[in-house]
Amino acid sequence: MVRYRRLVSALFSTALMLTLSACASTASRPSQPEALEKAHSPAVSEETLTLLFAGDIMAHKNNYAYPAFSRIWDDVAPLVQSADLAFANMEAPVADSLPWSSYPQFNMHSSYAEAAIQAGFDVFSLANNHTNDQSLSGMQETRRWFSTRKGIWACGIKEKAGGPLTWQLIEKDGWKILFVAFTQVLNSWDSVSYIDYVPSRGEKLEALFTELAALKAAYSPDLFVVSVHADEVEYKRTVWEKQRTIYQRLIADCGADVVWSNHAHVVKPWNIVPASEKAPHGAIIMYANGNTISGQRTSPSWDAPDTERDWTGDGLMMSVCFTRTGSTIQLTKAEPHFITTVLAVDGQPVIRLLDEDLAKSMRRAGRYSWESYLTERRRLLEAIQPLN
């Protein structure tokens, strides 16, 4: 049976330099035996692990109408591949035996998902409000396809009705990462007993906290990543207090180091949690990383780039670095990379890094509306600040 186990850098650096400076100025000179002992003691090794978290991978009709799926990822693949592990939410069943299908009941074929894997993604959440769009057969085919992909980890769909929460224990370069994905929201109750679904309140949520804490205690991972498909209003950039409370409990009560949330289809702020007794490594909460690829913004508002629908064309890829020194693990860097979906000259939606070079390339191509539009979209996204 196949089990589904599968910035702070500046602040940390500044604090570290101040600490080292203070130590250098106040510490007494070690005695000769102490100096010799230190000289002959083995150096403490330092290892880093970089995780990248994207948002929703969607397949609207205008996405899968162009068969060159690898082209979607050409510009961002180097960033994705630079991470040791890259995470994304697969917002549709993956079932080759069923027809392609767009909103409101999605289905993609494995060639579309495979293009994301070839771009560098290797860890997927399958638990979301579209998981059961193609009923039980679509879910079972999705689960089987991901389980056959070597070096790929995914969870969120159960093998049997009413089975336990699915999870992955990923071993990467000497690190153990525990990964769990669940959804708080569904579009239908079809075969819900096969989905890692937990309501956002009540006894089942409390039972989940207990189960996650037990998983953490049983496997003692170096890092614990929890994916949440949130029960929240779509397209709104508000960080809801209910979600903040739940995510803080996932850290304090369950031992999560990363809480990675999606569903809003827009980019929201993130929150760096300082190291403490409840979060010994430090932690990060991402409230929504937007759309990594979708067909929701096909007609940009050239003269009003800040409209609600225009936010659905952008996403966040958050690069998170943990450093292990001896037996101590610490979150040492969280770097946001904003991305956007652009319509190529032939109309294919492709992902581009939302930077100054993108606007310049539009100017060189004579696509002046895109140049001014993307310049403003970049300004809006870069204005997003981490929450306290």
pLDDT digits (tens, 9 = 90+) for 295-351: 999 999 999 999 999 999 999 999 999 999 999 999 999 999 999 999 999 999 999
pLDDT at position 39 is 44
**Could you write out the DSSP letters of every residue in 257-317?**
SEEEEE-SSSB--EEEEPP-SSSTT-EEEES-BBEEE-SS-SS--TT-TTSGGGGGGEEEE
Could you tell me if 299 and 316 are in contact, meaning their C-beta atoms sit under 8 angstroms apart?
no
Q: How does pLDDT run across 86-104, given as a tens digit for each residue?
A: 999 999 999 999 999 999 9
Locus of tokens 């991901």: 146
Question: pLDDT higher for 267 or 34?
Answer: 267
pLDDT at position 138 is 98
Q: Any idea of the CA torsion for 159, 160, 166, 168, to the nearest 10 degrees?
A: -30
- What residues contact residue 35 under an 8 Å CB cut-off, 6+ apart? none
**Which whole number is the average pLDDT over 186-209?**
97
Q: How does pLDDT run across 54-76, given as a tens digit for each residue?
A: 999 999 999 999 999 999 999 99
pLDDT at position 170 is 98
| 128 vs 116: CA distance, rounded Å | 18
Mean pLDDT in the chain?
91
pLDDT at position 269 is 98
Among 175, 170, 118, 131, CA closest to 263: 131
Work out the number of other CB atoms within 10 angstroms of the CB of residue 308: 12
**Per-residue CA distances from 156 to 241, 249, 338 (Å):** 25, 20, 26
Q: Tokens at residue 325, please? A: 């020194």
**Per-residue CA distances from 77 to 91, 108, 116, 351 (Å):** 19, 20, 9, 10
Question: pLDDT higher for 181 or 38?
Answer: 181
pLDDT at position 131 is 98
Could you tell me if 322 and 278 are in contact, meaning their C-beta atoms sit under 8 angstroms apart?
no
Decide if pLDDT at 22 tops 70: no
pLDDT at position 388 is 84
pLDDT at position 45 is 86
pLDDT at position 42 is 55
Reported confidence tier of residue 24, pLDDT bands at 50, 70, 90: very low
Among 162, 196, 159, CA closest to 179: 196
**Which whole number is the average pLDDT over 193-212?**
98
Q: Which residues of 169-188 are buried (b: 16+ CB within 10 A; e: fewer)?
A: bbebeebebbbbbbbbbbee
Q: Tokens at residue 134, please? A: 């193609």
Question: pLDDT higher for 27 or 296?
Answer: 296
Sheet holding 283-286, edge to edge: 168-172, 175-183, 223-229, 258-262, 283-286, 270-273
Reported confidence tier of residue 274, pLDDT bands at 50, 70, 90: very high
| Max Cα distance, the chain (Å) | 76
Could you tell me if 71 and 38 are in contact, meaning their C-beta atoms sit under 8 angstroms apart?
no
Q: What angle do CA 358, 359, 363 make, to 5 degrees?
A: 115
Among 52, 137, 54, 63, CA closest to 94: 137
pLDDT at position 44 is 72
Reported confidence tier of residue 208, pLDDT bands at 50, 70, 90: very high
Cα 80 → chain centroid: 11
Q: How does pLDDT run across 118-169, given as a tens digit for each residue?
A: 999 999 999 999 999 999 999 999 999 999 999 999 999 999 999 999 999 9
Phi-psi region of 366 (alpha: psi -120 to 50; beta: other; left: phi over 0): left
Pairing relation of β-strands 85-90 and 46-57?
parallel
pLDDT at position 28 is 35
